[in-house]
Amino acid sequence: MFEELKTFIAVVEYKNFTKAGEHLNLSQPSVSTHIKNLENTFGVTLINRSVKQKSIFITESGYTLYKRAKEIVNLLDTTSMEVLNTSDSIKGHLKIGASLTTGEYILPKFLTTFCKKYPDIDIEIFIENTSTICSSLKDLTLDIGLIEGISSYSNFSQEYLLRDKMVLAFPYNTDLVKDNFSLDKLQDKKWIVREDGSGCREFFNMFLGTNEIVPKSVMVLGSNYAVKEAVRNGLGITIMSRFVAAPAVKNKELSIIELDDSYTHNFSYILPKNITISKATEVFLEEFKLYTSKLDKQ
């Protein structure tokens, strides 16, 4: 049944029998047989198939089995690693959802070291906003979520890793930050912001509301890099993470003004509750916590 469970997991994650078969080096008839065997064993329909639309739909029973199957596979992986008891033998495949700030400005340097230490752990990084990551982790299509702020889902365990402070960012040579800066200077200005669902957008809304600032216009861009470049080129001003702003300030691309502690949040990791995590997940989190603890002291 173990191989059949692995096949079922692949079908749920790929939403396609053919792609699941390619991933597992199985023919499509073999994939279909594995799924049918599971349905016969449990006496329920796990997957509904639409011949006309050439699509599949996972039933409620199917998602219940998927969750348990992931636990079984992770538990066997962990047991195998404990029996072998050598870090060199740790293998696995991790799907990690990371918020844009974490994915673009914190993970790359960390992964350089981590992947050298654990070359047999394959990692896929999906860079999305916090809201999308939480939704994907809830569906168990991710192993780990690295987010900004607080998760709105009660069925996640969450641990804070790194404190992040927001700053006001302007083009480098702007007159706004010269001599006696005041919030009144921010009235009727063009703003560059991230999309709804991002941590930066929440702080932007909070800042304007608290200080009764009315913008002239708001341009929405989907990445930290795009926001930074837009501000650098004089298209507007923004609120962004200190981690995003720091390299641009050093290169004299941006000028910044620090905000008070109410514009501070934490990067954290989230995991579904009551799930046995794989050894690869455990090792990744241990190493990432060590890395961020050093970063937090800088």
Residue 252 pLDDT exceeds 90: yes
Domain boundary (85, 112, 142) is at 85
Domain boundary (85, 103, 130) is at 85
For 37-89, what is the HEC assignment? HHHHHHCCCCEEEECCCCEEEECHHHHHHHHHHHHHHHHHHHHHHHHHCCHHH
Does any domain span residue 80? yes
User: How many C-alpha atoms does 89 have within 13 Å on its Cβ side?
Assistant: 10
Does any domain span residue 281? no
**CA 251 to each of CA 97, 231, 240, 294: distance values in angstroms, whole numbers, following the listed order:** 29, 14, 17, 24
Domain boundary (50, 85, 120) is at 85
- Which CATH number characterizes residue 231's domain? 3.40.190.10
Query: Average pLDDT in the 232-258 region?
Result: 93
Does any domain span residue 287? no
CA distance 83 to 50: 44
Beta bridge partners of 218: 191
Residue 4 pLDDT exceeds 80: yes
Residue 298 pLDDT exceeds 70: no
Q: What is the pTM of this model?
A: 0.64
- Which CATH number characterizes residue 60's domain? 1.10.10.10
CA distance 293 to 110: 12
Selected residue with higher pLDDT from 2 and 165: 165
Q: What tens digit of pLDDT does each residue of 166-208 get?
A: 999 999 988 887 777 888 999 999 999 998 877 788 899 999 9
Number of domains in the chain: 2
Does any domain span residue 151? no
Does any domain span residue 168? yes
Does any domain span residue 233? yes
Selected residue with higher pLDDT from 22 and 51: 22
Q: What tens digit of pLDDT does each residue of 221-243 get?
A: 988 899 999 999 999 999 999 98
The boundaries of the domain holding residue 210 are 164-263
Does any domain span residue 224? yes
Grouping H, G, I as helix, E, B as strand and the rest as coil, residue 219 is: strand
